[in-house]
Amino acid sequence: MIKLLGFVLVVLALAWGFAWLADRPGDITIVWQGQQIEMSVMVAVTLIVALIAVIMFIWWVIRTVWTSPRSINRYFRARKRDRGYQALSTGLIAASAGDAATARKMNARAKGLLSADQEPLIHLLEAQANLIEGRNDEARRKFEQMAEDPETRELGLRGLYLEAKRLGADEAANQYAERAVEKAPHLPWAAEATLEAKMRLGLFDDSLKLLEQYRLSGAIGKDEANRKKAVLMTAKAAAALDGNPKVAGDDAQHALRLEPSLIPAGIVAAKALYREGNLRKASAVLERLWKAAPHPDIAASYIHAQGNLTSDERLRRAIKLETAQPEAYEALYASAAAAFDMRDFRTAREKAEAAAKLDMRESVFLLLADIEEEETGDQARIRHWMSMARRAPQDPAWLADGFVSQVWLPLSPVTGRIDAFEWRKLERQAGTAIEHEPLTAETAFLSLPPVNAPRPATPSPDVRIVEEQASVPAKAEPAPAAKPAAKEASNPPASRPASRSARPVQDEDESKSWAAVEPFFGRPPDDPGVKAPAAPADDSKTRLKLF
């Protein structure tokens, strides 16, 4: 386009020049060796231009003839090079497609048409052909040769790294990655592999230094670099939490400033502050995180705090979290669990049912089953809540590469990736839940069986002492023994309460027969001791001694 524009400008300039001369006519007289030549200005200019054009043409002809051998040689060399690159391209495509025969054939043709020293891709094609044919040793030797050449060093080291990973030689793979990152810190595969290796070894300072080099190389964005740095500093703080809470707290808070949404960093910072005795500041950190995103780990750290709080204090802290996030499932569940630990079953049931209506999860139905067992002991209702727990979706957990963890980890144990864990809901495996029948509030609460009978209250210590004294075998008295026998026959075992419930002694006969009317079912039998030899007794007396 530029050449065409220049040509047009030259033509326009010539036309303008000739037009300018035509408007200004004149004559030119030349006297040379006694000859006088007269001509107009236009003719003279035309002759000069024609003479210049003839000289340029003659020069072009002479130059073309003079350089023709070199041009012919260059033409055939370019044609040969083009054929070699065509063979190389075809070979690389065949190697990527897994066609070892074509790759080997094209490699031989490319070697004949191109110089291997001038074209490094020939080495790559040969190494790929060896890998496809299963000649891994030869491929590794070729990669080692490429690693010694400065032009192909990174390519050879990557090939060696992949081969080491394939063989499971993680230590050798890490060494190749470190060699690559020394010369080229911008390589993502080398930087990531070296970071992961140093993280596994606990070399957090070296990891942070390498991450900074990686960021300065421009291969990673600022936001991503800050996120990775926050994860590294959180892992460093968690490792130093037991030995040096002060340093751990500083690192965790720095990580939290880099990534305010990183919940594990806030939890580690709060734990460090708790160990320093700074309960107020630690609670403020957790409250700020809780307002941004309610999470069960935040609730657990906040409610239990230093670990020496009473159940009443834990419930008050749980209620405070619920006040901040009244519509959050995690807040209602935390309040229900704290109330259950305090044995406040009414509050625990209210909070748990509210949480279940908000978001039906497995954990809340299991908690309702525990509440039912402790408060009423009604097996039908317990089985109902257990059935709902089986059908409800599983609770969220930390998930990375298919690995489920109850705690956050900086690295994936499967692939070793940094910051791989995400807080996600889990999918139930096929066959573990009732299919084609979604769980609804009507199914969970309207189908709840009614309470048959409340669980008797736990006997007081005084009544328990009376009960233990009454359980001691007394001397056999035939007359009063017949009375409890008749009472036992009129009150079958199915109609008696399962728990032992004591009552005050009313009269002497009832006191003597206390052990006889105490139900046997639901507790281990008392040891009657060794029977003393006595006269044979009738069947009714024998039955009485069993109870």
pLDDT tens digits, 77-93: 888 888 888 888 888 88
pLDDT at 337: 94
Give CB contacts under 8 A, 24+ apart, made by 220-225: 220/188, 220/191
User: In this model, does residue 73 exceed pLDDT 60?
Assistant: yes
Cβ atoms < 10 Å from Cβ of 9: 10
Q: Comparing C-alpha atoms, which of 262, 307, 308 is closest to residue 285?
A: 262
Say if strands 422-424 and 35-40 run parallel, antiparallel, or are unpaired: unpaired
User: In this model, does residue 209 exceed pLDDT 70?
Assistant: yes
User: In this model, does residue 481 exceed pLDDT 50?
Assistant: no
Mean local confidence (pLDDT), 248-254: 93
Q: Which residue has the higher pLDDT, 265 or 18?
A: 265
User: In this model, does residue 305 exceed pLDDT 60?
Assistant: yes
User: In this model, does residue 480 exceed pLDDT 70?
Assistant: no
Structural domain of 467: 461-488+509-520+535-547
For 387-407, write each residue's pLDDT tens digit: 999 988 899 999 999 899 989
Q: How many CA atoms lie within 13 A of 207 on its CB side?
A: 24
* C-alpha pair distances (Å), 129 with each of 108, 112, 124, 162: 11, 17, 9, 16
pLDDT at 454: 54
Asked if the structure places residue 409 within a domain, the reply is no
**Counting Cβ atoms within 10 Å, is residue 52 exposed (0-12), middle (13-18) or buried (19+)?**
exposed
Asked if the structure places residue 447 within a domain, the reply is no
Least-confidence region, from 41-45, 260-264, 521-525? 521-525
Measured distance CA(460)–CA(465) in Å, rounded: 9
Cβ proximity of 196 and 411 under 8 Å: yes
Mean pLDDT for the chain overall:
79
Residues forming beta bridges with residue 38, ordered by sequence position: 29
Asked if the structure places residue 319 within a domain, the reply is no
Q: Which two tokens stand for residue 48?
A: 């000069």
Can you give the three-state secondary structure of 35-98, one letter per residue?
A: EEEEEEHHHHHHHHHHHHHHHHHHHHHHHHHHHHHHHHHHHHHHHHHHHHHHHHHHHHHHHHHC
Mean local confidence (pLDDT), 447-466: 54
For 89-143, write each residue's pLDDT tens digit: 888 888 888 888 888 888 888 888 887 667 788 888 888 888 888 888 888 998 9
Of 66, 84, 110, the one marking the end of a domain is 66
* C-alpha pair distances (Å), 131 with each of 124, 141, 160, 167, 375: 11, 11, 12, 13, 68
User: In this model, does residue 45 exceed pLDDT 50?
Assistant: yes
Cβ atoms < 10 Å from Cβ of 385: 23
Q: 405 in helix, strand or coil?
A: strand
Of these ranges, 145-149, 471-475, 481-485, the one predicted with the greatest mean pLDDT is 145-149
pLDDT at 508: 36
pLDDT at 429: 61
* C-alpha pair distances (Å), 463 with each of 89, 310, 504, 505: 95, 29, 7, 10
Phi, psi of 400 (to 5 degrees): -150, 120
Phi, psi of 433 (to 5 degrees): -135, 160
Cβ proximity of 42 and 21 under 8 Å: yes
Is residue 543 very low, low, confident or very high in pLDDT (cuts 50, 70, 90)? very low
DSSP state, residue 112:
H
Mean local confidence (pLDDT), 285-299: 93
pLDDT at 519: 42
Least-confidence region, from 22-36, 49-63, 249-263, 357-371? 22-36
Cβ atoms < 10 Å from Cβ of 503: 11
**Counting Cβ atoms within 10 Å, is residue 128 exposed (0-12), middle (13-18) or buried (19+)?**
buried
pLDDT at 345: 93
Asked if the structure places residue 327 within a domain, the reply is no
Q: Which residue has the higher pLDDT, 447 or 16?
A: 16
Calculate the dihedral angle through the C-alpha atoms of 360, 361, 362, 366, rounding to the nearest 10 degrees: -60
Residues forming beta bridges with residue 399, ordered by sequence position: 404, 422
For 423-448, write each residue's pLDDT tens digit: 998 876 655 444 446 677 777 788 78
Phi, psi of 251 (to 5 degrees): -65, -40
Least-confidence region, from 307-311, 325-329, 398-402, 409-413? 307-311
Cβ atoms < 10 Å from Cβ of 158: 19
For 490-524, write each residue's pLDDT tens digit: 333 333 333 323 333 333 333 333 233 344 344 44
User: In this model, does residue 57 exceed pLDDT 60?
Assistant: yes
Is residue 308 very low, low, confident or very high in pLDDT (cuts 50, 70, 90)? confident
Angle between helices 222-239 and 188-200 (to 10 degrees): 10
pLDDT at 503: 32
Q: Which two tokens stand for residue 267?
A: 């939890």
Percent of the chain with pLDDT over 90: 32
Q: How many CA atoms lie within 13 A of 267 on its CB side?
A: 20
pLDDT at 455: 54
pLDDT at 301: 93
Asked if the structure places residue 174 within a domain, the reply is no
Q: How far, rounded to the nearest angstrom, does the alpha carbon of residue 467 sit from its chain's CA centroid?
A: 58
User: In this model, does residue 152 exceed pLDDT 50?
Assistant: yes
Measured distance CA(236)–CA(213) in Å, rounded: 19
pLDDT at 99: 86
Asked if the structure places residue 465 within a domain, the reply is yes
pLDDT at 453: 53
In the sheet where 422-424 sits, what is the strand order? 403-405, 397-400, 422-424
Contacts of 65 (CB under 8 A, 6+ apart): none
Contacts of 196 (CB under 8 A, 6+ apart): 411, 416, 417, 418
* C-alpha pair distances (Å), 460 with each of 343, 492, 506: 17, 27, 17
Asked if the structure places residue 544 within a domain, the reply is yes
Provide the number of structural domains found in the chain. 2
Sign of CA dihedral 156, 159, 161, 164: negative
Q: Which residue has the higher pLDDT, 346 or 498?
A: 346
pLDDT at 11: 85
pLDDT at 114: 81
